[in-house]
Chains A and B, each alone.
Chain A
Amino acid sequence: MTEANDIDKNLVIEVAQGILEIEDQLMHQVNPREVHEKILKLLNEKIK
């Protein structure tokens, strides 16, 4: 498991890009809950 003090900067950028893609997909989603869930899912997939 990745330690909190061992952050991979490339992965940070991947996460940031992933979040922007989610925002693209859910641009008109009124309920932010769905966006949050997608962001958390992205994190779960990227950081194990």
Chain B
Amino acid sequence: MKLNQIEFQDWRCFTGNQTIRFATDHGKSVTALWGANSSGKTTILNGILWALWGTLTEDFQNPESLVSDIAILSAGEGETLSAYVEVKFEHGGKRYTMRRSCSQKKNNSTNADDLETHARLMIVDALGETFTYLNSDAFSVIDQILPKILATYFFFNGEKFRLQVQSAHGEKTFADAVRQVIGLTKYERALKHIVKAKQELDLTISSLDKNEERRKLIDLKSHDEHLQAGYVDRINALEDECDILKKRFDVIAIEQAKFHEVKVDILARQGVEAEIKIRKAILANLQDSRTGLLGNLFALNVLLGNEAEVRVLAENHRRQKHIPADFKKSFIDDLLSSGSCICGCELVEGSEQYRKVNSRLNEGALGGTEESWTKLSVELGAVTTRYESLRGNFEELNAKIYSEDKAIQVLMEKLSIFDENILGVAAIDEARIAIVDLETERKDNVARQIELTQQKEEKSQELSKCNKRIDDYENEIKKIEIKNKEAKLISVRRQYLSDALSHLEKELAELKESLRDELEMSITTIFRSFSNNSYFAELDKDFSLKLCSKDANGVSREAALGTGETQLKYYSFIAALSKMNYESSVNSESIHQSFPIMVDAPFSYLDTDLSRRVALKLPEMTHQVIFLNLKKELDTMIEPEVAKSVGAVSVLTFFVNRSAEIKVSENIDLPQGQFKYVIAQENSPRYTEINSVKV
């Protein structure tokens, strides 16, 4: 920052429009402003601070009254008065014009209402482009060039500076300012902000990281998948069992159908058996009838003498083919003696049959008379008829017997077919049991199938719920995984931030170390160039400065400084800072920036020798120095070595009421000539005129 000029318009003691141009040339960079006490030197310092940073020094009196007293006096009541300070400076290749104005309304003959202020900053860049900022924006831009906290260390009152530094927190504030001007505060702020940003990232990560929840969900899902597999297995088993039952059911149906046929066969067989029984009874009756009839036929045949018939009959029953006529008697005898008739009945002596056969014998039928044969012939005639009839019956009976016999035979064949089908009586019983068992099994099967279907339904419902839960878990897990991915990315960012923190900590430590060494050396050199005492500078970790000396044992101890040395201590510090910034800004476009040093009453506590040294050395340490001096400091400033670096001189001509303490007008003798210093006049308010002196 290089100040070009400051312009006042009715601001405090500078009535009307007045301008101070500052020295800017290299080697002629000192501006000397000469003014009596109360002439406005501190007002110039405050004009800079007020216009550029909106602040005033603590000892600045009546800060609410910024408009010139004379302007207020000359204005009419109710009139609005305005004043401004305009500062022009260059910085970084740009030209800045900051005008801060204030206005007050006069409310009676001497007073004005509260101030209203307005700031306007115009910047013209290297290409001629113009930018304008108003009020807080304007201050914000200035603050970025030289922060307010530092401005009061580069634009300061030499008399009050020690008090300013030593006030409450002054040392700390000064050390803070030092760290800021050498670029450490930026690192410290960065470290602090990185820690906070890391904490924010940690919070974000912890809010996103749901690994625990994810693990729980995965456990739940796994549990449900296990259940799911169980349900599926159970359902499959139930289905298999159902299939087996269905197959068995079909088998049972086939078996039942088969046994139903058997059952029909059994019933049919029972019918056939009954019929056989009936038929056998009929057959027995028929056979009985035939036996009786055969007896009758035999008897009749005997009676008829039908030997042939007898023989036939005898052959039939006795298997004799021929009974000769003369054999009749012997035949009957034989019958009687044999005890068996040709009809097959027993001829037991004394029985009716025996008696008949014997009577026939006794009657002589077989060997009797003709008469008897005639009689017999007649009888035979009847008997023949009877015989024929019986024979017809016999034949018919035989046919019936044959027929019945045949029918029974057919039925028996049927029975054998049935028996083959139903495998006999045992198989029938077995079949009956099997039919019952199958029916029972069928009913059980149906019941079991219903039960299984219910179970299957229940398991299917449980499976469905389980599947839904698994889907829900999966969706939830997916959401968590998306968040986890985000958390992972933020973790990576956090790691970078953490590493950047370490990097900056290391860089800061190195920077602090090197800057501390550099500053300590520079302060020591500068202090020693000012003072005859060979103290050396020590900066603690916060960059608070101590001037030290070594005792006889070589132990470093803080030096007890007098008032002048204390002032030199801070000059040395400011000068070292300026020097550091000046050199680095000359050498490169460094982060450090060079600033002017404006000192009001710079030599208050310094003797002539020290003052001369400060005046001589300070310009070597920065690109622009502005001294606001009293006449008594003239001796210092006219030293040829000092005078050769002065590029601009102004005298503040102070007009003061003669009735006040100053009654005599004074002049100041500068190398450039004699100039009016104080002008005492009758009944006039105080004001100052700035007179530029040609160098």
Contacts and interface: CB of A to CB of B under 8 A. Distances in A.
Interface string A5-48: 00101011101100110111001100010011001100110111
A contacts with B: majority SS: helix
A28 B143 contact: yes
Contacts of B503: 12-13, 16
Interface string B480-509: 000001001101110111011001100100
A7 B492 CA distance: 8
A40 B186 contact: no
A36 B196 contact: yes
Contacts of A16: 190, 500, 503-504, 507
Contact of B201 (A24, A27, A40): A40
Interface in B135-178: 140, 143-144, 147
Contact of B500 (A12, A32, A36): A12
Contact of A28 (B147, B500, B507): B147
Contacts of B499: 7, 9, 12, 15
A1 B489 contact: yes
Contacts, number: 84
Given A1-B488, A40-B201, A23 B496 contact: no
B496 A40 contact: no
Contacts of A35: 189, 193
B635 interface: no
Interface in B673-691: none
B187 interface: yes
Interface in B283-334: none
B639 interface: no
Given A15-B500, A28-B143, A20 B187 contact: yes
Contacts of A22: 190
Contacts of A11: 496
Contacts of B196: 32, 36
Contacts of A28: 140, 143-144, 147
Contacts of B407: none
Contact of A36 (B143, B193, B495, B591): B193
A15 B192 CA distance: 15
Nearest to A36: B197
Contact of B186 (A20, A32, A36): A20
B504 A19 contact: yes
Nearest to A46: B496
A43 B186 contact: no
Contact of B493 (A3, A9, A32, A44): A44
A13 to B, nearest CB: 6
Contacts of A23: 186-187, 189-190, 193
A32 B189 CA distance: 10
Nearest to A48: B489
A47 B186 contact: no
B194 A47 contact: no
A27 B143 CA distance: 9
Contacts of A3: 492
A8 B576 CA distance: 39
Contacts of B197: 36, 39-40, 43
Contacts of B504: 16, 19-20
23 contacts: A1-B489, A1-B492, A2-B492, A3-B492, A4-B488, A4-B491, A11-B496, A13-B503, A15-B496, A16-B507, A19-B190, A20-B190, A20-B504, A23-B187, A23-B189, A23-B190, A23-B193, A27-B143, A35-B193, A36-B197, A39-B497, A47-B492, A47-B493
Q: 7 shortest A-B CB distances, which residue pairs?
A: A16-B500, A43-B493, A15-B500, A12-B499, A23-B186, A39-B197, A16-B503
Given A15-B496, A16-B500, A19-B190, 14 more contacts: A4-B495, A7-B495, A7-B499, A20-B190, A23-B187, A23-B189, A23-B193, A36-B193, A36-B197, A39-B197, A46-B496, A47-B493, A47-B496, A48-B489
